[in-house]
Structure 1
Amino acid sequence: MPSATDDLIQRLYESPPEGFVAARTAAIEDARRAGDKPAAKRLAALKKPTVAAWVVNLLALRRPELIEELVELSTALREAQRGLDGAALRELTNQRRQVVSALVAAAGKLARAEDRSIKLPLGEVEATLTAALAEPEIAAQVRTGRLIRAATYAGFGEVPRPRLRLVTDEVDGPDDEDDAGDGDDDAEVVEFPQPNAREKAAAERRRREFEQRRRDLRRELTNAQAAERRADEQLERAEAAERDAGHVVEDLDAELAELERRRTEAQADVARRKQARRLAERETAAARRQVGDVQAALEDLESDEPE
């Protein structure tokens, strides 16, 4: 049974990415105040998804049955590839396009229902779902609903089809009876067109260019992944610094509130003391008037004293 933290994490990955960091920070603070250190640690380890990853997460969390259909189709495609079943592979490839298109449309609808202002990178969503068809590991990640970035797979799709046709052409060539026949049949086999030296050289050049391009792309991928790791680390440091700064602000706010309370109390005390001073001033003035009156009466009395 999913825990409260699991439910919270699901809500985080269902919500638009722009609010992810603030919501995660608030959730971490709530867990810390509740004394739930394991939950706080789990939440702190979560990474913000890209918009494309968020759209795929929505699909996986809200429409998991569609992802299961994708996985079933993936299994059928791999079996057709292993069995070199050209007809089945062509049919499944067409079906793949239809299924992926339908899933992209469903994911886009879910995302627009959440936030119409976000520009949806549906091409990356399509690439991720296509990659899930080709790689069980990617499909497993998609199922979790916690992707943080889009996925791609360059080796799936149309590449096996020309190879399969080549194999089919060889199988559909001269049958066993022709191979076992006389010299005339052998002459027909020799007459099959063979690639000339120029075609071989061009093919070899294309192969070298392809290999070089693949090496370049792999090197670029390695560099990009390293840069991504550095960026993730920098983001984590920045988020930690942001949290620490937030704690400082909270402490200062608390101190400021205490100082404001003391200031209010001091002002009230000053007002009370001012009122007491004014009362004392009135009493002093009255006493002075009384002294003056008594002195005047005494002087009058003394001036009338009989000799």
Structure 2
Amino acid sequence: MTDANVTDDVLRRLYEEPPEGFVATRAAAIEQARAAGDRDTAKRLAACKKPTVAAWVVNLLARRRPDLIGELVTLSEALRSAQRDLHGDQLRELSLQRRQFVSALVADARKLAVAAGAGAGKLPLGEVEATLTAALADPEVAAQVRTGRLIRAAAYAGFGEVPRPRLRLITGGDEDPESDGPEGDADEGEELGAGPEAGRGPAAGHVTTPGLGTVPGMGHEAAQEARERAARERRRREVERKRRELERELSAAEAAERRADQQLERAETAERDAEGLVDDLEAELAELERRRAEAVAEVGRRKLARRGAERETAAARRRVGDVQAALEDLG
């Protein structure tokens, strides 16, 4: 029966091991489990994936400073609650705490990695920071970080400093007439012929409006309303155009992400298969080496037996010669 504590200790060492030593450490642990007849543990270890350097740094932090990861989870829950309830002041304060806390976590993680033998200049601290930030935003990522067995860095693109604004499309009839500002009033005065030169503008009862031309019988208020409607329609079309563009970009990004995940999964599967083949070949090589040693020992035993037989044959021949000589002497 597998000792769960022993297995957990092996996994702990495995994921605290720098990535360059992961495969060798895993192979040794698998061989030890097989030698002990523990096939379940050997299979479990064989399924363990090698972490990236960034994931290894986060694993070190999770295993050696679990108290800090606990604080990270607590802060993430507070952030999500504030964002959900739209508490702006609370959210801004917590966001500031988030930045400061993540920076402190990255610094601690860097110290742990350097103490474990990693070169400080080669550590992907940006990926470490992105993973910790993602853990603040996504409970699933936080749960993975707490296990100390990440295999790659994580990222979360949707985390914001403040809640996402509630957007609405402007379709006309509900827009604030003051939205065009003072400049709009000035333009209106010029276009409507206000001022000393007003008598030289269009005839009374005719108003010129941008995009509409000269409209007979349209008063100043109607012209202003027409301009506002036109402006709202332009804004609506622009919002719709941007929305469609962003949706296309999102679809393309999600498709690329799926392709990348599939490619990564295939690569990881191929790596596991190759490592499994190496393990099988090593096992076969060990068996062949054992059989070779037995064959060499058998050859040695056969040589000794042959030499003994040669000595007995020589003695028998001498005895035959002696007997023949004795018979000749009697004759």
After TM superposition, the score normalised by the length of structure 2 is 0.70
Q: 1:223 aligns with which of 254, 259, 262?
A: 259
In structure 2, the gaps of 5 or more residues are: 169-174, 181-227, 326-331
User: Is the CA contact 2:14–2:26 (under 8 Å) kept in the aligned structure 1?
Assistant: yes
Q: Which residue of 2 aligns with 1:191?
A: 178
Residues 1:6 and 1:162: Cα distance change in structure 2 (over 3 Å): closer
AA of the residue aligned to 1:40: A
Residues 1:189 and 1:229: Cα distance change in structure 2 (over 3 Å): closer
Separation in structure 2 between the aligned mates of residue 259 and residue 64 of structure 1, nearest angstrom: 55
* Seq. identity, %: 53
Q: Which residue of 1 aligns with 2:83?
A: 81
Separation in structure 1 between the aligned mates of residue 311 and residue 102 of structure 2, nearest angstrom: 82
* CA displacement 1:192-216 (0-9 Å, x = unmatched): 3476444443333222221111101
Map 1:1-307; keep pairs closer than 5 Å: 3-117=5-119, 119-158=122-161, 160-161=162-163, 163=165, 190-193=177-180, 196-265=232-301
Classify the secondary structure of the residue corresponding to 1:191.
helix
Separation in structure 1 between the aligned mates of residue 101 and residue 310 of structure 2, nearest angstrom: 83
- Worse-matched range after superposition: 210-219 or 18-27: 18-27
In structure 1, the gaps of 5 or more residues are: 168-187, 292-307
Q: Which residue of 2 aligns with 1:184?
A: none
- Worse-matched range after superposition: 108-117 or 95-104: 108-117
Separation in structure 2 between the aligned mates of residue 117 and residue 189 of structure 1, nearest angstrom: 60
Classify the secondary structure of the residue corresponding to 2:50.
coil
AA of the residue aligned to 1:8: V
1:20 Cα deviation from its structure 2 partner: 1.5
Separation in structure 2 between the aligned mates of residue 79 and residue 90 of structure 1, nearest angstrom: 13
1:263 Cα deviation from its structure 2 partner: 4.5
AA of the residue aligned to 1:236: R
AA of the residue aligned to 1:210: L
Classify the secondary structure of the residue corresponding to 1:133.
helix
AA of the residue aligned to 1:252: L
1:86 Cα deviation from its structure 2 partner: 1.2
Classify the secondary structure of the residue corresponding to 2:11.
helix
* CA displacement 1:18-48 (0-9 Å, x = unmatched): 2212222221221122122322232222111
Q: Which residue of 2 aligns with 1:178?
A: none
* CA displacement 1:210-244 (0-9 Å, x = unmatched): 11111011111111112122222212211211111
After TM superposition, the score normalised by the length of structure 1 is 0.75
Separation in structure 2 between the aligned mates of residue 42 and residue 191 of structure 1, nearest angstrom: 68
User: Is the CA contact 2:15–2:59 (under 8 Å) kept in the aligned structure 1?
Assistant: yes
Q: When you count helix as a share of all residues, which structure comes out higher? A: 1
AA of the residue aligned to 2:100: Q
- Worse-matched range after superposition: 115-124 or 239-248: 115-124
CA RMSD of aligned residues (A): 3.3
1:87 Cα deviation from its structure 2 partner: 1.3
AA of the residue aligned to 1:226: Q
Classify the secondary structure of the residue corresponding to 1:3.
helix
Separation in structure 1 between the aligned mates of residue 247 and residue 20 of structure 2, nearest angstrom: 40
Classify the secondary structure of the residue corresponding to 2:61.
helix
Separation in structure 2 between the aligned mates of residue 254 and residue 154 of structure 1, nearest angstrom: 56
* CA displacement 1:52-73 (0-9 Å, x = unmatched): 1111111100000111111111
AA of the residue aligned to 2:275: E
Q: How many residues align?
A: 268
